[in-house]
């Protein structure tokens, strides 16, 4: 996107914000949406429901194939975690 296009987009956004500036409910909705939009961009761990369940399915497949680590007690688990 060119700087001219970005400038035009910014102008459109600010114009639209000005159009709702007197409506408190619309401003609250906009603020809520913007917080959610910013959070999505900053949090790389967010995933869709489909991606989440695909990861679960993959983990279950790996467990069925024996590609997992098991521990007999907490000390073994802690020793393994400390080795990482």
DSSP secondary structure string, 1-69? Answer: --HHHHHHHHHHHHHHHHHHTT-HHHHHHHHHHHHHHHHHHH-TT---HHHHHHHHHHHHHHHHTT-S-
The pTM of this model reads: 0.42
How does pLDDT run across 26-65, given as a tens digit for each residue? 999 999 999 888 876 666 777 889 999 999 999 999 999 9
Query: Are 30 and 17 spatial neighbours (Cβ–Cβ below 8 Å)?
Result: yes
- Tokens 């802690």 appear where? 78
Distance CA 63, CA 19 (A): 56
């Amino acid at each position: 996107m060119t700087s001219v296009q970005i400038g035009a987009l910014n102008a459109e956004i600010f114009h639209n914000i000005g159009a709702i500036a007197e409506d408190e409910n619309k401003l609250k909705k906009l603020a809520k949406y913007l917080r959610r939009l910013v959070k999505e961009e900053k949090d790389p761990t967010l995933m869709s429901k489909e991606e989440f369940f695909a990861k679960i399915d993959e983990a279950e497949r790996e467990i069925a194939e024996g590609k997992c680590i098991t521990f007999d007690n907490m000390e073994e688990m802690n020793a393994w975690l400390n080795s990482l």
